[in-house]
Amino acid sequence: MNEKAGVVIIGGGINGVGIAYNLAKKGYTDVVVLEKDYLGSGASGRNGGGIRQQWSTRENIELAIESTKMFEKLHEELDTEFEFIQGGYLVLAFTDEEITQFKKNVKLQNELGLNSVYISPEEAKEIVPKLNILKVKGATFNGTDGIIYPFPVVYGYARAARKMGVDIREHTTVTDIVTDGKEITAVKTDKGIIETDTVVNAAGGWSTEIAKMAGVELPNRPYRHEIMVTEPFAHFLDPMIISFHHGIYFNQAAHGNIVGGIGNPKEYPGINQRASLWFLRTMAKTLVEFIPNFSAVNMIRQWAGLYDTTPDAQPILGEVPEVDRFFQVNGFSGHGFMVSPVVDKVTAELILGETPSMNIDRLKVTRFEGMDLEKEYSVVG
Amino acid sequence: MPAKRISEHPVLEFQRGEKFFFDFEGKKIPAYPGDTIAAALYAQGLQKFTESKLLKRPRGFFCAIGKCSSCIMRVNGVPHVRSCITLAEEGMKVERQSAMPDFPDVALPCTPVNEHKIEIAVIGGGPAGLSAAIVAANNGADVHLFDENANLGGQLVKQTHQFFGRYEEHAGTRGVDIGKALAEEAHEAGVKIHSDSTVLGYYPEMTVTVDSSNSLEIYRCKGIVYATGATENFLAFENNDLPGIYGAGGVQTLMNEYGVTPGDKVLMIGAGNVGLIVSYQLIQAGVEVVEVLEALPKVGGYQVHASKLRRAGVPISTRHSIIKAIGTEKVEGAVVQGLDDDWKPIDGTERTVECDIICIAVGLQPDNHFLRLAGCETKHVPELGGIVPLRNEYLETTVSNLFIAGDSAGIEEATVAILEGKLAGAAITEKIKGPSSELTTIKEKAILGINDMREGPYGKRSKKGVNLCTFEGGCIG
């Protein structure tokens, strides 16, 4: 006899366990979370932990502001230490176009209630005295941005959800989603069949593959992004430093190590999570350009994860037209972790048929049908 | 006197060159050519090399071969330098750092990144790696050998005892001399040797990065033999992080390679071959071994080694283990206790042992992170010391043209490491340069030799383990 579940969530990353937690908090625990590897084995356990509110589109800014407020309290709610440090984000401009865009961003961010500021290179150097500002043309700074240690958030959610009765299964691979007309009837896994009418696709870099199982085409594509960590040092760097021009971001984590990544513009789509020599060389060279003393620092590990990237670099949320009760929580394009608190709350509300506390209709997949997209420009790494 | 330089030794001769000095926190420290920073400091009585991150507990060195990072220091302004494998230099400025040192106050000149195309990279210059390199180079391959230490020979450089095993693999010769002979043979065979060169990573396909005197060298290879040996296991007991508690191999390195004694009175934990041999070598170096403890009901190593110790008056206590180390800044003694049949401490059998050094000799585990990075499939095989790569009978892993040999393939002993090196060296050369009757002969002889070694009473366990991780037929891909 097949198992039954009210909701099957595919993906044991931050959003999978976060949605499970939010459903359980509302008293709904007939939920199974399926993870093909271990919890946080995808992008949720491979990212740099950045929590940024300085975005260029209204949706991303609103999601990030609300999520940051929630992160500030979440550790108490989950009784887990996340090492959330609000040292700010220093976003550096290297071209005149960036200056124009940054000023526009700050204006919109201020309108939406964020206290970000546009500053001069010299003011940036006051925030990070070791910074080489020779080529820096300007910067924006927001003090309530910060960094978080991602693993304890994933495990904190999972522990709390399990305690309330949610069934979270690791090393269980989804092999098919069975539909009857527009209705979902079951999810097949390598360990058996679970009958359900509601599925959440929170599979990150694998979400397009998962959607296909239900006959749904998503525009997301997985792209490898690489990251590294250095030896630890006594605290010397407050903010996360990022440059869209270089595609670089780096910060000093709570344990003193520098964590950072740089994007390869020539990366092609596909599931590839192996480390590259290109990254090693480019990251080392660029770090030294930003802070010359990095030349005397050892990188101790490098690894890679997947950005689940959409054409407008904004997430895909909510239901799809082809299949009923097939909720999408994917396409985060490299910034899923930082907006997860709101996304998970709203998704839980939608699943239970409640009025969502934030309107996310503009982030539905249907936005890609022929209309002009508003692209998020502030993607890094 | 906690530590001293050995002046007289029954086997080894320490020909120290001209004394020079470096600066340690404002003090002038004498050193001799070939001394690592850690060895020179230890000879002057320094035991605390760094401190722990949270509780700021003192840390001494542990492994002495660059694998544990317990001895990292700030050298010429650069933090996190492994002082145990970095040679001391005249005028060098050495400081202790906390676990969270200040960000470097210097910027180093950026060195160019050099790329090389080579045929075979051998990683590790111990018995396995050297043997593989010699066979490959003698059969026409372009071979580069990398080792992070200044001296070749791996763990052979500190083995003062005569080897058993097979005549063709140097039985009857002292390990240190085998190491020297193999290194010389490698030179003669035309192996391009890169000592003081740490292999940092593996990148697809067959690309290896090497830190060579602070420049990044990139080697694009046709094949790799991986032979980096093992790391020492540690043991959980109260206060086990005190300076003065070292790996038996670490003490052996300090004593036999750098000619510095670890202290006055040693308590040895473990009566396998490493524990027994190092105990005897401590006595040769003029150090008192107060007792050898063994948790098993009987001595695990060869009886001949145990008998030598007993003749020297060293008690070997089976069914005994250490419960805690005494001391706050360094070891001032130990509490030991008897164990029952279920390995549980027996109440009332606690006693204090007077010692200033505790040596841990409780086994080794294969060092093969690199192989996992390269995507080799692995398996946990307790008989071989832990996680080991799957391999075919010619020691090729599941990644085509990536071969293994020696302890990194599974813990055995040096004779098997030499034979495995020969086998892997011949098999990789055959794949890259094409077959020859000579290579076939080397392969066949090596397989016979390995099987022969595993037939002995001590080889049965290894044989069982190897069978668990050997796949049939050729390599995948």
- The pLDDT-based confidence of A64 (bands split at 50, 70, 90) is very high
Question: For chain B, give me the number of helices (H) and strands (E)?
Answer: 10, 28
DSSP string of A232-276, one letter each residue: E-SS---SEEEETTTTEEEEE-TTSEEEEEE--TT--SS------
> Do residues B121 and B269 both lie within one domain?
no
Residue type for position B151: N
Mean pLDDT across A74-96: 95
Q: How far apart are CA B62 and CA B47, in angstroms?
A: 11
pLDDT of residue B112: 83
Q: Are residues B347 and B386 in the same domain?
A: no
State the first-to-last Cα distance of chain A, in angstroms, to the nearest integer: 47
pLDDT score, position B302: 87
- Rounded Cα distance between B397 and B168, Å, is 27
Angle at B72 (CA atoms; ends B103, B47), nearest 5 degrees: 130
SS3 B213: coil
DSSP 8-state class, residue A363: G
Of B333, B364, B395, the one marking the end of a domain is B364
Q: Kindly list the residues from chain A whose CB atom is less than 8 angstroms away from the CB atom of residue B77.
A: 296
Whether B53 sits inside 8 A of A232 (CB atoms) is: yes
Contacts of B272 (CB under 8 A, 6+ apart): B300, B301, B361, B362, B363
Q: Which of B103, B206, B373 to mutate to test the interface with A (most CBs of A within 10 A)?
A: B103
Q: For the stretch B69-85, what's the b/e string if a residue is b when 16 or more beta carbons lie within 10 angstroms of its beta carbon?
A: bbbbbbbbebbbbbbbb
Q: Residue B50: phi, psi to the nearest 5?
A: -155, -170
Strands (E), B54-95: 58-59, 72-75, 78-82, 93-95
By mean pLDDT, which of A218-222, A366-370, B57-61, B159-163 is the weakest? B159-163
Are B305 and B369 part of one and the same domain? no
Amino acid B403: pLDDT: 98
- How many C-alpha atoms does B300 have within 13 Å on its Cβ side? 19
Give a yes or no: residue A42 inside a domain. yes
Give the lowest-confidence range in A199-203, A257-261, B57-61, B421-425: B57-61
What DSSP assignment string belongs to B240-279?
Answer: TTSTTEEEHHHHHIIIIIT-B---SEEEEE--SHHHHHHH
Give 3-state DSSP helix, strand, coil % of chain B, rounded to 5.
30, 30, 45
Over residues A4-24, the mean pLDDT reads 98
- From the list A17, A16, A89, the residue with the least C-alpha distance to A378 is A89
Indicate whether A216 and A233 sit together in one domain.
Answer: no
H or E element, residue B431: helix B414-433
Of B53, B106, B375, the CB nearest to A296: B106
Task: Tell me, yes or no, whether B352 lies in a domain.
Answer: yes
Hey, are the CB atoms on B107 and A293 less than 8 Å from each other? yes
- pLDDT at residue B131 greater than cutoff 80: yes
Sheet-wide strand order for B207-212: B114-117, B215-220, B207-212, B197-203
Residue range A190-219, pLDDT digits in tens:
999 999 999 999 999 999 999 999 999 999
In a domain, A39, yes or no: yes
Domain count, chain A: 2
Last residue within a domain, chosen from B64, B95, B126: B95
Pair B359, B379 in one domain: no
Would you call B399 helix, strand, or coil by DSSP? Answer: coil
Residue B251 within any structural domain of the chain: yes
Q: Are residues A239 and A175 in the same domain?
A: no
**pLDDT digit string, tens, across residues B55-78:** 889 998 888 888 888 899 999 988
**Domain shared by B371 and B334, yes or no:** no
Q: Which of A309, A324, A349 is the last residue of a domain?
A: A309
Please give the sequence-ordered ranges of beta strands (E in DSSP) within A278-351, or none if there are none.
299-309, 316-318, 326-330
Residue range A23-45, pLDDT digits in tens = 999 999 999 999 999 999 999 99
Tokens of A26: 């509302």
Distance from CA of B153 to the nearest CA of A (A): 27
Strand partners, B74: B95
The candidate with the shortest Cα–Cα distance to A115, out of A156, A175, A54, is A54
B400 and B443 both lie in a single domain = yes
pLDDT tens profile A92-139 = 999 999 999 999 999 999 999 999 999 999 999 999 999 999 999 999
Copy the structure tokens of residue A323. Answer: 């299949």
CA distance B388 to chain A (A): 21
Do the strands B143-146 and B192-194 form a parallel or antiparallel pair, or are they unpaired? Answer: parallel
Query: Any idea which of B104-118, B215-229, B237-251 has the lowest mean pLDDT?
Result: B104-118
State the pLDDT confidence band at B141, using cuts at 50, 70 and 90: very high
For residue A104, tell me if it sits in a domain: yes
Give me the mean pLDDT over the A301-310 stretch: 96
Indicate the residue of B53, B103, B204 with minimum beta-carbon distance to A274. B204
> What number is the average pLDDT over the span A57-71?
93
* CATH number of residue A158's parent domain: 3.50.50.60
How much is the CA Rg of chain B, to the nearest whole Å?
22
Enclosing H/E stretch for A34: strand A31-34
- Joined tokens for residue A2: 């097949």
**What are the tens digits of pLDDT across the range B326-372?**
999 999 999 999 999 999 999 999 999 999 999 999 999 999 999 99
Residue A181 belongs to some domain of the structure: yes
Q: Do A233 and B113 touch (CB under 8 A)?
A: no
Parent domain of A332:
3-46+151-220+312-368
User: Quick check: helix, strand or coil at residue B208?
Assistant: strand
Helix axes B437-455, B414-433, angle to 10 degrees: 150
Q: Do both B373 and B357 map to the same domain?
A: no
pTM of the complete model: 0.88
Residue A296 has its nearest CB partner, among B108, B216, B375, at B108
Tell me the chain A residues in contact with residue B216 when contact means C-beta distances shorter than 8 Å.
281
Handedness of CA B140, B141, B147, B153 (dihedral sign): negative
* Domain co-membership, A122 together with A226: yes
> How large is the greatest C-alpha to C-alpha distance in chain A, in angstroms?
69
Q: Is residue A79 part of a domain?
A: no
Nearest residue, CB atoms, B107 vs list A233, A276, A295: A295
Q: Are B345 and B432 in a shared domain?
A: no
Q: Mean pLDDT over residues B441-457, rounded?
A: 92
Instruction: Compute the distance between CA of residue B35 and CA of residue B90 in angstroms, rounded to an integer.
Output: 11
- A296 and B218 within 8 Å at the Cβ level: the answer is no
Amino acid A264: pLDDT? 94
Alpha-carbon gap, residue A102 to A116, rounded angstroms: 10
The domain boundary, picked from A294, A309, A324, lies at A309
pLDDT band at B107 (very low <50, low <70, confident <90, very high): confident
CB A32 within 8 A of CB A23: no
**Residue B474 confidence (pLDDT):** 61
**What pLDDT does B477 receive?**
44
User: Closest to B102 (Cβ–Cβ): which among A233, A255, A298?
Assistant: A233
User: Sheet of B320-326: strands edge to edge?
Assistant: B320-326, B333-338, B351-353
Containing domain of residue B71, as a range? 20-95
Length of chain A: 381
Which residues 215-234 of A have a C-beta within 8 angstroms of B? Answer: 231-234
Three-state SS annotation for A159-210: HHHHHCCCEEECCCCEEEEEEECCEEEEEEECCEEEECCCEEECCHHHHHHH
CB-based burial, B17-30: b 16+ in 10 Å, e otherwise? eeebebebeeeebe
Can you give the pLDDT at residue B149?
87
Residue B424 belongs to a domain: yes
User: Is the same domain home to A344 and A317?
Assistant: yes
pLDDT at residue A372, rounded to an integer: 63
User: How many percent of chain B have pLDDT more than 90?
Assistant: 73
Burial of B466 (0-12, 13-18, 19+ CB in 10 A): buried
Asked if residue B428 is part of any domain, the answer here is yes
Count of domains in chain B? 3
Give residue B106's pLDDT.
82
The bridge status of strand B265-269 relative to strand B357-360 is parallel
Whether A379 has a pLDDT exceeding 80, the answer reads: no
Residue A236 shares a structural domain with residue A292: yes
Q: Is residue A65 part of a domain?
A: no
Evaluate whether residue B15 is within a structural domain: no
Digit-coded pLDDT (tens) for B467-477: 999 998 665 54
Torsion of CA B116, B121, B122, B125, to 10 degrees: -10
Q: CATH number of the domain that B58 lies in?
A: 3.10.20.440
Domain assignment present for residue A69? The answer is no
Contact (CB, 8 A) for B253 and B149? no
Q: What is the pLDDT of residue B380?
A: 96
Closest in A234, A274, A281 to B113, CB measured: A281
Put simply, whether A134 touches B (Cβ < 8 Å) is no
Q: Is B280 or B107 the better-scoring residue by pLDDT?
A: B280
Looking at the structure, do residues A179 and A289 belong to the same domain, yes or no? no
| A302 and A330 part of one domain | no
Cβ A146 vs Cβ A287: under 8 Å: no
Same domain, B47 and B80: yes
Return the CATH number at B294: 3.50.50.60
Q: Quick one: CA torsion of B292, B298, B301, B306, rounded to 10 degrees?
A: 50
Rounded Cα distance between A182 and B377, Å, is 42
Q: Is residue A267 part of a domain?
A: yes
Distance of CA B54 to the CA centre of its chain: 29
Residue finishing a domain among A261, A284, A309:
A309
Q: Are A27 and A168 found together in one domain?
A: yes
Rounded-to-integer distance, Cα A228 and Cα A284, Å: 10
- Whether A137 and A186 map to the same domain: the answer is no
pLDDT, tens digit, 9 for 90 and up, residues B297-331: 999 888 999 999 999 999 999 999 999 999 999 99
Residue A190: beta bridge partners? Answer: none
pLDDT at B2: 61
Q: Is B101 among the domain residues?
A: no
CB contact under 8 A, A296 and B207: no
pLDDT confidence band for A369 (50 / 70 / 90): confident
Are both A160 and A300 inside the same structural domain?
Answer: no
In-domain check, residue B7: no
Same domain, A328 and A363: yes
- Is the domain of B132 the same as that of B223? yes
d(CA B426, CA B138): 10
Q: What CATH number did the domain enclosing A113 receive?
A: 3.30.9.10
pLDDT at B69: 84
Tell me whether residue B3 is in a domain: no
Quick one: pLDDT band at residue B7, thresholds 50, 70, 90? confident
The per-residue pLDDT of chain A, averaged, comes to 95
Neighboring chain B residues of A281 at a CB cutoff of 8 Å: 113, 216
Nearest-Cα distance to chain A for B421, in Å, is: 29
SS3 B97: strand
Indicate whether A302 and A338 sit together in one domain: no
CA distance B246 to B39: 14
